[in-house]
């Protein structure tokens, strides 16, 4: 994840430098477009592999009781992948640890499982009133985030 953030940050910096250079040297718009296109292709390729790796985690996460309802892909200068999870069964800490141990080579899996468990613990402690818990969303990108969706009963 840190490697991806560094690469994307580098590409953003390169893009900014290209714009500044074009303004200073009077570069043609077509030349600037070509530069962005080449940088975009490299970023797109890396982003596609990274996204595929993340999507492959969904069946593993189901083993700990969270089903993937949907996946949203944000394609842009700041690419994101948002997973919308629904809890469908309770699992004990030992089962979770066993799944993590079986897939210890997948660093993002551990982070996502910890995020799901934290969000689930949080939602179980708040008073929902006339609402019911629905979805936990984990967004992976330059600025990762977790959100919990509540719906009226």
| pLDDT given for residue 17 in this prediction | 56
- Looking at the whole model, is its pTM more than 0.85? no
- Which of the four pLDDT bands, split at 50, 70 and 90, describes residue 27? very low
The two tokens of residue 136 are 């936990």
Residue-wise pLDDT tens digits, 48-57? 777 788 888 9
As a whole number of angstroms, the distance between CA 106 and CA 58 comes to 12
| pLDDT given for residue 14 in this prediction | 56
| pLDDT given for residue 86 in this prediction | 94
Residue-wise pLDDT tens digits, 61-103? 999 999 999 988 887 667 788 999 999 999 999 999 999 999 9
Section 118-143 average pLDDT: 87
Cβ-count burial 110-136 (b if 16+ within 10 Å, e if not): eebbebbbebbeebeeeeeeeeebebb
Give the 3-state secondary structure of residue 25: helix
Residue 9 has pLDDT above 60, yes or no: no
| pLDDT given for residue 78 in this prediction | 75
| pLDDT given for residue 30 in this prediction | 63
| pLDDT given for residue 18 in this prediction | 52
Mean pLDDT of the chain: 78
As a whole number of angstroms, the distance between CA 4 and CA 16 comes to 18
């Amino acid at each position: 994840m840190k490697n991806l953030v560094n690469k994307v940050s580098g590409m953003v910096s390169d893009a900014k430098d290209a714009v500044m250079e074009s303004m200073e040297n009077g570069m043609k718009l077509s030349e600037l477009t070509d530069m962005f296109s080449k940088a975009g292709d490299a970023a797109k390729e890396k982003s596609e592999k990274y996204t595929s790796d993340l999507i492959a985690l969904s069946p593993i996460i189901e083993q700990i009781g969270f089903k993937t309802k949907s996946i949203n892909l944000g394609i842009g200068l700041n690419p994101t992948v948002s997973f919308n999870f629904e809890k469908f069964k309770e699992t004990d800490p030992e089962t979770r640890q066993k799944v993590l141990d079986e897939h210890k080579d997948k660093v993002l899996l551990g982070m996502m499982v910890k995020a799901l468990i934290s969000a689930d613990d949080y939602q179980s402690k708040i008073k929902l009133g006339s609402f019911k818990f629905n979805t936990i969303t984990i967004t992976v990108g330059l600025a990762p985030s977790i959100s919990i969706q509540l719906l009226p009963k």
